[in-house]
Amino acid sequence: MSTSEGPPARLLKLAEVLHKTSLSRSTIYRMIGRGAFPRPMQVTDSIVRWKEQDVNAWIESIPPTGRFS
């Protein structure tokens, strides 16, 4: 069990990531391939999820020009 403070980590489904970022599925996976977007975690053999904190950090890292790698 973690001793860190704060709310527990939340895992996001692809639909939530799409909504939160306003990116398309293909754009997200293309950016993952380039190392420009957080990789999802393999939760089971058929389920992947993104850590909400990783997606939020990526959103915060977008420069004011809106361009990212």
**Low pLDDT (below 70) residues in the chain:** 1-4, 66-69
Total count of domains within the chain: 1
- Report if residue 5 sits inside a domain: no
Quick check: helix, strand or coil at residue 41? strand
- Report if residue 69 sits inside a domain: no
The residue segments making up the domain with residue 25 are 11-61
Q: What is the pLDDT of residue 24?
A: 98
Q: What is the pLDDT of residue 38?
A: 98
pTM of the complete model: 0.81
C-alpha to C-alpha distance for 26 and 44, rounded to whole angstroms: 22
- Report if residue 33 sits inside a domain: yes
b/e 6-21 (16+ beta carbons within 10 angstroms → b)? eeeeeebeeeebeeeb
Q: What is the mean pLDDT of the chain?
A: 90
Q: What is the pLDDT of residue 5?
A: 73
